[in-house]
Amino acid sequence: MGVIVAKAPLRISLGGGGTDLPSYFREHEGFLVAGAIDRYVYILVHAAFNRIFQLKYSKLEETRTPSSIRHPIFREALMRYWDGDPLEITSIADVPAGTGLGSSGSFTVALLKALAQCRRTSTTPAQLAQQASEIEIDFLQEPVGKQDPYVAAHGGICAYTFHRDDTVTVEPLSLSGATHERLRNQMLLFYTGETRSASSVLMDQHKRSLAGDQEMIENLHRTKEMGFKSRQLLECGDLEGYAKLMNEHWQNKRSRSDDVTNAHIDRLYEIAMANGAIGGKLIGAGGGGFLLVYSAIPSLTREAMAGLGATEQPFDFEFGGASAQGLV
C-alpha cells in the first residue's frame, strides 16, 4: 500500500474553552470559538515487513495483537478501526505534547484519517471528530473535551456548539480579510517552557461539574457567555475589544483552579501586558504550554518576551483540516 501520511492541525482556543467537556455540556450546552493553526501532528503508516505491529512515538512498541498495545489511543483506534495486516505506524508532531494546543485530539484524528486511507474508505470531518471523541471520552474515560478533535478534523476558525445530546454544530466564522490579516500579524504565541497533563488539570473541573458545584458551574456559564461575545467581536472586526475580553477570559479561567497558573506564567503575562499586549490567555487547560496575546505593538512584545526566554511560536491559521495522502 506504500506509505500513507496523514496530518491534523493543532489549535488555539479563542473564547469559551472549557465548556466542551461532557460534564458541562450534557447538562447546560457548551459553546466556544477556536482556530486551527498551521502546526500539525503527523501519522505515517506502512505495511509491517516483520508481520507485527510496530508503533513509534516517544517509545517503541512491537506486538502481534492490537489488544496488547500499551499506548491507549493506538490500541483503541486499531482495535476498532483496523482489521487488516499488521502496520508500522510512526507519529511526529511540530510541538511537544502537553503544551495546550490540542495535540492529543489532533493525534487521534490524524491516526483515524490514516487508517481510513489505508482501508480506502472515505470519511467526513464530522465522522472523524466524533470517532476521535468517542475514543478519548467514552472508551478511555479521559476528562477531556470535544474541542480538540473537532478543530483538528474541520480546520478553519469556527464556532462550535456542543449540544446536550452529544451532537455538535460547526459554524465557520465570517471574518473580513482585514480582520484575518490583523489576527495573523498581532496575535502572538509564546512557549512558557513548561508542559503539563491536560487530564490532571481538567479532572477537578470534571468532578466538580458532575457534582453540581455551583461555583464551577457559574464560572463555566460566564466562560460560555465570553465565547458568544468573542464570536461577535471577531465577526465585527473589533479586535481591541476582543483582546480586552481575552484578559477577562484569563482572569475568569484563573479562578477556576489553583492549577491553571503559577508565578512564572503570571510573570510572563504581566510583562506582555506592560509591553504592548492588550489582552491574552494561556491556551489549553492551564498549568503550562503556550501563552497567546494580542498586541498593539508586536515588536515591543516580542522583545520583552525574548528577554524572559519565552520562545515565540510563529503561526498562521489553517483552513484544510485533517488530510491524508499516499506516497509512492
Please tell me the predicted confidence (pLDDT) of residue 286.
73
Q: List the one residue out of 264, 261, 313 whose CA is nearest residue 285.
A: 261
Please tell me the predicted confidence (pLDDT) of residue 284.
81
Please tell me the predicted confidence (pLDDT) of residue 105.
96
Tens digit of each residue's pLDDT (9 = 90 or more) over 229-258: 999 999 999 999 999 999 999 999 888 877
Tens digit of each residue's pLDDT (9 = 90 or more) over 165-178: 999 999 999 999 99
Q: Which residues contact 214 (CB under 8 A, 6 or more apart)?
A: none
SS in 3 state form for 230-247?
A: HHHHHHCCCHHHHHHHHH
Which domains occur in the chain, in start order?
A: 3-174 (3.30.230.10), 177-312 (3.30.70.890)
φ, ψ at 108 (rounded to 5°): -65, -45
Q: List the one residue out of 285, 30, 7 whose CA is nearest residue 170.
A: 30
Alpha carbons 154 and 172: distance in angstroms, whole number: 9
Q: List the one residue out of 231, 202, 180, 210 whose CA is nearest residue 32.
A: 231
Please tell me the predicted confidence (pLDDT) of residue 257.
78
Please tell me the predicted confidence (pLDDT) of residue 287.
75
Alpha carbons 242 and 70: distance in angstroms, whole number: 43
Reduced to 3 states (helix: H, G, I; strand: E, B; else coil), residue 128 is: helix
C-alpha cell at 107: 493525534
Q: List the one residue out of 303, 100, 111 whose CA is nearest residue 192.
A: 100
Averages of pLDDT over runs of 10 residues in the chain (328 residues) are 93 96 96 98 95 96 96 98 96 91 96 97 97 97 94 98 98 97 97 76 79 91 97 98 96 84 92 97 84 97 96 96 89
Please tell me the predicted confidence (pLDDT) of residue 203.
80
pTM: 0.95
Q: List the one residue out of 153, 149, 108 whose CA is nearest residue 323.
A: 153
